[in-house]
Chain A
Amino acid sequence: MKKLISLLVSAALAVTSVFALAGCSGTKGSGNEASNFKVGAIYINSQNDTAGYTYAHHHGITEAMKKVGLDPAKDLYIVDNVPEDDEKVKQAIDQLAGNGCNIIFGISFGYLNAMDEKAKEYPDIIFSHATGYLSNDKNFNNYFGRIYQARYLAGIAAGYKSLALGNNNIGYVSAWGTEYAETCSGINAFAMGCMAVNPDANVNVYEIYTWGDQEKERQAAELLIDTYGCCVIAQHCDSAQPQIVANEKGVYGCGYNSDMTKEAPNAHLAAPVWNWDAYYATAMKAAMTNPATFMTEVGNYYEGLNAGLVDVSALSANCEPETKEAVEIAKKMMVNGEWDVFSGVKLSFSGAAGSVTVTKADADLLKDDGSVIVAAGGASVDDGVIQGSMDYYVKGVTQVNK
């Protein structure tokens, strides 16, 4: 009898924990036939997250569905907490295919092989994969954004702050360094934004070697402030810890993914943010209209400020007065395609608030070792960035740990 009770209690514990972990994983909706079009999504973390990467995508998908006239409560099928493991991803795809999804979004890099394979098995379903590089010409695309454009704008805010404080040291807590184009292009763009305002700015990068570890993020920010004397802390990592530390230590910061002014009210300047609904609405509309032409209508999607896919969060009251005008000028130049970050043309901002002006000058874009990436006046290497070939820092960036 005792054995039986202990078994039952253990089983009850195990079952409840599975449910809690998965955040009531599985599928939402009742499979109601009110609408024919069904959207499937595979998430790396929980659909119930309230911030971070999965949250940004989930929010984007639900917003986009409302925009195109779908009901997220009925037409969205989710498998969440799916690790980057081919077998698990394939199971998730089979499940969503069984639910009758017409388009399946996979948000994490490591889903690429499974999605590539399953795209052949289910030719009638559109597969759409974020941050990867595999695709085919019938039903499998990938999508990503020019987040570095938003980072340049955050860099402008940081640059003005460092100028006002008379401190050229700016810190950057980064998940990875030159291993990923995603991280180093962000660091480079941010640094170039800083230097467009404060030519002497130096960006000190601390690499934490993981996408998310609150404690390491926290300690990295402490070091950058205490040891390297940084006055602004930017970040490319999951939690808000670097901003919280900046707030505690009385310096400033630029968050990522969401407006972190809430977490760091006295420190936060502005954060580069994603508006994924811009892409999801485009993709859903195209797939609803005619799935056969999806790859010609949408294809591989790499937009930026122009499509509203990326942006910088509302500038907080901690920003210097000149920031707003300078950010608007730079943003406009990128939106209308007049200028892009990684080109042979350098912007510099000058003038007091109310009369901020920008000057464009042809200049070599230099690596940190002094070699030339783009000769003065040359075109942007932006496609190289988005497709993952950038693996260097620009001049003005120093990685403090290796």
Chain B
Amino acid sequence: MLDVFTLFLFNIIVYNIPLLYGTTGEIMIEKSGSLNLGVEGTMAIGAVVGYLAGAKTDSLLVAVLVSFIASGLVGLLFAFLTVTLQANQNVTGLTITTFGVAFYYFIGNALSNSAGGWPALNGTKLDAQSQALHIPLLSDIPFAGKAIFSHGILVYLGIIIAVLMWFYFKKTVPGLKLRAIGENPGAADSLGVNVAMYKYTHIIIGSGIMGIGGLYMGLNMGGTFEGSNCWINGYGWISIALVIFANWSPAKALLGTLVFGFFNTLRVQNAALAYAFPNALGWLLKIPSHFFSALPFIITLIVLIISSLSSKGRSGEPQAIGRNYYREDR
């Protein structure tokens, strides 16, 4: 048994890390000046393909690589449509979401109806490899050890990706060039930066990162396929909002994930907190559950409004976002 407070902190991380993958992936794409609304579908495809590959080979490494590649291919499609063919980014993104989620159900249903059935996670090596790591010393710290230092490897991978991406944007030359393309692709082009190549690469890598987040969700749900309830469950959409919340900074994306995760977890655990601490938190029970259910979205909305009002709040927004770059228009 876990005490309610540890479980609360633990769940903030366990259930919301996929948002970090989705958000950092989307930040990478948006920094190149492309707005990809296909996060939900990209995550769904990475999740289902990666999970099946992982279950087949019984290896987490394969699962991660395949989900990265599968979602990367979705990114390639998005890049081909919007960069090469100059298709409308919003419409292409939405199409990818519809396609990706439907692909998830299509594969899942087909496999579940087949003779072999949907592969189970329980008891496999893949399951064992995605379980919580025991980090010597750190995991043994009372309270924080369980809440922060007892997670599966994919949780830490998500955080490492966010940190590396922050470093990449801020401290490296390719990162600088990428930001230049997002701000003014014409100027970057005139300085000899290969705009199309940069866009392609970063859209593919960003999409691949989202795919790992999708895989994480599937593994966290015990790997079961439900005929009418997708693993991703709207997290892709929330990620898109969190990009603005984070002001296009991967470091702040981590913060945004935790803040959103706090309210997302409160939504489920408010009654348990009140039960465990009747004197200090008993008042939580007086608030209707529906309010808690709405709270994460109310908070997101408030943050979006505030950041839209202040010029500093959107200072990270690439100026050329959402507009296709066509050299001859320059």
Interface assignment of A9: CB less than 8 Å from any CB of chain B:
yes
Within residues 99 to 145 of chain B, which ones have a CB less than 8 A from any CB in chain A? 99, 101-103, 105-106, 109-110, 112-113, 118, 120, 122
Interface assignment of A209: CB less than 8 Å from any CB of chain B:
yes
Asked whether B233 lies within 8 Å of A9 as measured between CB atoms, the reply is: no
Interface residues on B, range: 35 or more
Asked whether A2 lies within 8 Å of B84 as measured between CB atoms, the reply is: yes
A352 to B270, CA, bound (A): 42
Asked whether B269 lies within 8 Å of A223 as measured between CB atoms, the reply is: yes
Within residues 1 to 57 of chain A, which ones have a CB less than 8 A from any CB in chain B? 2-3, 5-7, 9-10, 13-14, 16-21, 23, 45-46, 48-52, 54-55
- Pick the interface stretch among B28-36, B284-292, B315-323: B284-292
Asked whether B221 lies within 8 Å of A21 as measured between CB atoms, the reply is: no
Mark interface residues in A388-402 (1 if CB within 8 Å of B CB, else 0): 000000000000111
Interface assignment of B156: CB less than 8 Å from any CB of chain A:
no
Interface assignment of A239: CB less than 8 Å from any CB of chain B:
yes
Interface assignment of A197: CB less than 8 Å from any CB of chain B:
no
Within residues 252 to 297 of chain B, which ones have a CB less than 8 A from any CB in chain A? 265, 268-272, 275-276, 285, 288-290, 293
- Enumerate chain B residues within 8 angstroms of A219, measured Cβ to Cβ: 11, 15, 265, 268-269
Interface assignment of B91: CB less than 8 Å from any CB of chain A:
yes
Asked whether B85 lies within 8 Å of A49 as measured between CB atoms, the reply is: no
A215 to B229, CA, bound (A): 10
Interface assignment of B173: CB less than 8 Å from any CB of chain A:
no
In the complex where A6-B81, A215-B233, A226-B1 touch, is A50 in contact with B227 (Cβ < 8 A)? yes
- Enumerate chain A residues within 8 angstroms of B101, measured Cβ to Cβ: 21
A14 to B92, CA, bound (A): 10
A46 to B221, CA, bound (A): 21
Asked whether B109 lies within 8 Å of A46 as measured between CB atoms, the reply is: yes
Closest chain A residue, CB of each to CB of B91: A10
Asked whether A402 lies within 8 Å of B15 as measured between CB atoms, the reply is: no
Interface size on A, residues (CB 8 A): 56
Asked whether B102 lies within 8 Å of A20 as measured between CB atoms, the reply is: yes
Mark interface residues in A192-236 (1 if CB within 8 Å of B CB, else 0): 000000000000001101001111101110110111110000000
- Enumerate chain B residues within 8 angstroms of A50, measured Cβ to Cβ: 109, 112-113, 118, 225, 227
Mark interface residues in A236-270 (1 if CB within 8 Å of B CB, else 0): 00111100100110000000000000110100000
Asked whether A45 lies within 8 Å of B228 as measured between CB atoms, the reply is: yes
**B208 CB, min distance to chain A CBs, angstroms:** 19
- Enumerate chain B residues within 8 angstroms of A49, measured Cβ to Cβ: 109, 227-228
Interface assignment of B2: CB less than 8 Å from any CB of chain A:
yes
Asked whether B289 lies within 8 Å of A238 as measured between CB atoms, the reply is: no
Contact of B271 among A19, A262, A402 (CB under 8 A): A402
**B134 CB, min distance to chain A CBs, angstroms:** 17
Interface assignment of B96: CB less than 8 Å from any CB of chain A:
yes
Contact of B272 among A16, A20, A227 (CB under 8 A): A227
**B106 CB, min distance to chain A CBs, angstroms:** 4
A88 to B305, CA, bound (A): 36
Asked whether A226 lies within 8 Å of B109 as measured between CB atoms, the reply is: no
In the complex where A48-B109, A219-B11, A227-B272 touch, is A238 in contact with B95 (Cβ < 8 A)? no
A6 to B221, CA, bound (A): 36
- Enumerate chain B residues within 8 angstroms of A227, measured Cβ to Cβ: 4, 7, 272, 275-276
A248 to B14, CA, bound (A): 15
A216 to B272, CA, bound (A): 14
Asked whether B106 lies within 8 Å of A20 as measured between CB atoms, the reply is: yes
Closest chain B residue, CB of each to CB of A24: B106
Closest chain A residue, CB of each to CB of B82: A6
Asked whether A21 lies within 8 Å of B105 as measured between CB atoms, the reply is: yes
In the complex where A212-B229, A218-B221, A228-B275 touch, is A17 in contact with B91 (Cβ < 8 A)? no
Asked whether A46 lies within 8 Å of B227 as measured between CB atoms, the reply is: yes
**A107 CB, min distance to chain B CBs, angstroms:** 13
Interface assignment of B307: CB less than 8 Å from any CB of chain A:
no
Within residues 5 to 19 of chain B, which ones have a CB less than 8 A from any CB in chain A? 7, 11, 15
- Enumerate chain A residues within 8 angstroms of B11, measured Cβ to Cβ: 219, 222
Closest chain B residue, CB of each to CB of A7: B87
- Enumerate chain A residues within 8 angstroms of B113, measured Cβ to Cβ: 48, 50
A263 to B226, CA, bound (A): 12
A20 to B104, CA, bound (A): 9
Interface assignment of B166: CB less than 8 Å from any CB of chain A:
no
**B142 CB, min distance to chain A CBs, angstroms:** 16
In the complex where A17-B102, A20-B103, A45-B228 touch, is A6 in contact with B2 (Cβ < 8 A)? no
Contact of B228 among A13, A228, A238 (CB under 8 A): A238
**B90 CB, min distance to chain A CBs, angstroms:** 12
Asked whether B293 lies within 8 Å of A209 as measured between CB atoms, the reply is: yes
A46 to B108, CA, bound (A): 12
Contact of B98 among A2, A21, A263 (CB under 8 A): A21
Asked whether A220 lies within 8 Å of B268 as measured between CB atoms, the reply is: yes
Asked whether A401 lies within 8 Å of B271 as measured between CB atoms, the reply is: yes
Asked whether B224 lies within 8 Å of A45 as measured between CB atoms, the reply is: no
**A47 CB, min distance to chain B CBs, angstroms:** 10
Within residues 240 to 258 of chain B, which ones have a CB less than 8 A from any CB in chain A? none
| New A-B contacts (11) at CB < 8 Å, excluding given A50-B227, A226-B4 | A2-B84, A9-B81, A45-B227, A46-B227, A50-B225, A207-B289, A215-B233, A222-B7, A223-B272, A229-B1, A401-B272
| A-B pairs with beta carbons under 8 Å apart, 15 shown | A10-B95, A13-B95, A49-B109, A50-B109, A214-B221, A218-B221, A219-B265, A220-B268, A226-B1, A227-B7, A228-B272, A228-B275, A244-B222, A244-B224, A400-B272
Question: A: which residues have CB within 8 A of B?
Answer: 2-3, 5-7, 9-10, 13-14, 16-21, 23, 45-46, 48-52, 54-55, 206-207, 209, 212-216, 218-220, 222-223, 225-229, 238-241, 244, 247-248, 262-263, 265, 400-402
Nearest 5 A/B pairs, CB to CB: A49-B227, A401-B271, A6-B85, A50-B112, A20-B106
